[in-house]
Amino acid sequence: MTETTETRVPLVQLEGVGKHYGNIIALRDIDLEVDWSEITCVLGDNGAGKSTLIKIVAGLHKHDEGVFRIEGEPVSFGSPREALEHGIATVYQDLAVVPLMPVWRNFFLGSEKRTGAGPFARLDIRFMRRTAKRELLDMGIDLRDVDQPIGTLSGGERQCVAIARAVYFGAKVLILDEPTAALGVKQAGVVLRYIAQARERGLGVIFISHNPHHAYPVGDRFLLLKRGRSLGYYTKDEISLAELTAQMAGGAELDELAHELESAGVKGAPELREGARDLGLSD
């Protein structure tokens, strides 16, 4: 996959993209690139505009400003289905699974495999069961039973099912919305491994997170968002984990917080202040 693409045309490219809801500006002047076999991390706090950004790429909203290109071709999606047709698959925070439905039905939901023709077209249940089981096994998820409701799986397992589904359906770009947010340390590690695995398979990945400790080890590029604007756009060799964390936390604010805690007589405030100094945020 990697060899066939020209070096000059990125898989996904946003240039000066903006979005507003009425008079509320949710996103302004964002640049972003994702290439084959590459993970671009979008980092930011709550309300930074991460969700708006991925909704544009995923086809849930149209952008109002700037250019959005897929393999060099300018696009503007009217529905998630259109985005899917361009090879962009999204794994949402709420996982986009239907908890009461069996795993295999969830796996193929919206892209069901059928046999037979006309009014007798029916689901190819054997194929779908087998495929779901095999694909999950390939990703290292060994399920007891693909017939169990997906709601009975753990958060990490559900996340992996969603990723496996996107990979199986030939996604070129995988958007992951906070895939590790609600997970414990170990499960987050498992999910991060699948993200890296998706990259090894040649996919471009957009990884949304507010946790630099999850993003830095797997990411190739980092876009930092704050209040709908770009705080910075770095490749991995341009920024260290400490700097990334510092940028995310917002140095001045950390200092302010330390000051506040200090005046309230809370223990640990000096350490916080020291930490901020170490990161080169304040002096």
Partner 1 sequence: MSHTIERPAPPADERLAARSPIRKLLGRPEIGSLVGAVVLFVFFSLVADAFLRASSFSTVLYSSASMGIMAVSVSLLMIGGEFDLSAGVMVTSSALIASMFSYQLTLNVWAGVAVSLVVTLALGFLNGLIYVKTGLPSFIVTLGTFFMLAGLNLGFTKLITHNVATPSIEDMAGFAQARAVFAHDFTVGGVQISISVLWWLLFVAIATWILLRTRSGNWIFAVGGSATSARAVGVPVTRTKIALFMGVSFTAWFYGMHILFNFKSVQSGEGVGNEFFYIICAVVGGCLLTGGYGSAIGAAIGAFIWGMTSNGIVYAEWNPDWFKFFLGAMLLAATVVNLVVRRRAEAGK
Cβ atoms of 38 and 205 within 8 Å: the answer is yes
Interaction residues for partner 1, span 103-122 (CB under 8 A): 105, 108-112, 114, 121-122
Would you give the DSSP letter of residue 184? -
Shortest Å distance, C-beta 98 to partner 1? 4
How far is CA 119 from each of CA 116, 122, 143, rounded to the nearest angstrom?
8, 8, 34
The answer to whether 133 contacts partner 1 (rule: CB under 8 A) is no
Nearest distance from residue 102's CB to partner 1, in Å? 10
176 lines the binding site for partner 1 (CB under 8 A): no
Among 31, 145, 253, 274, binds partner 1 (CB under 8 A): 145
Q: Which stretch binds partner 1 (CB under 8 A): 8-16, 74-82, 248-256, 257-265?
A: 74-82
- Distance, in Å, from the CA atom of 121 to the CA atom of 101, rounded to the nearest integer, reads 21
CB of 206 to partner 1, least distance (A): 16
Closest CA to 144 of 110, 178, 103: 103
CA distance 234 to 140: 32
Q: Which two tokens stand for residue 103?
A: 């795993």
Whole-number Å distance between alpha carbons of 260 and 211: 24
Q: What is d(CA 118, CA 279) in angstroms, rounded to the nearest whole number?
A: 65
Contacts with partner 1: how many residues (CB under 8 A)?
37
Q: Please state, in angstroms and rounded to a whole number, the distance separating the CA atoms of residues 232 and 67.
A: 19
Amino acid at 270: P
Task: Find the part of the chain contacting partner 1 (CB under 8 A) among 19-27, 37-45, 133-141, 200-208.
Answer: 133-141
The answer to whether 271 contacts partner 1 (rule: CB under 8 A) is no
Are residues 273 and 258 in contact, defined by beta-carbon separation less than 8 angstroms? yes
| Binding residue (CB under 8 A) for partner 1 from 53, 54, 183, 190 | 190
Q: Is 25 or 109 the residue whose CB approaches partner 1 more closely? A: 109
By the rule CB under 8 A, 197 interacts with partner 1: no
Q: Is beta strand 173-177 parallel, antiparallel or unpaired with respect to 204-209?
A: parallel
CB of 156 to partner 1, least distance (A): 9
Q: Is 140 in the site for partner 1 (CB under 8 A)?
A: yes
If the CB atoms of residues 109 and 196 are measured against partner 1, the closer one turns out to be: 109
- Binding flag, residue 137, partner 1 (CB under 8 A): yes
Out of 41, 70, 97, 171, name the contact with partner 1 by CB under 8 A: 97
CA-only gyration radius of the chain, Å: 21
| Residues at the contact surface with partner 1, assessed by CB under 8 A | 60, 79-81, 84, 90, 92, 94-101, 105, 108-112, 114, 121-123, 125, 137-138, 140-142, 144-145, 148-149, 152, 190
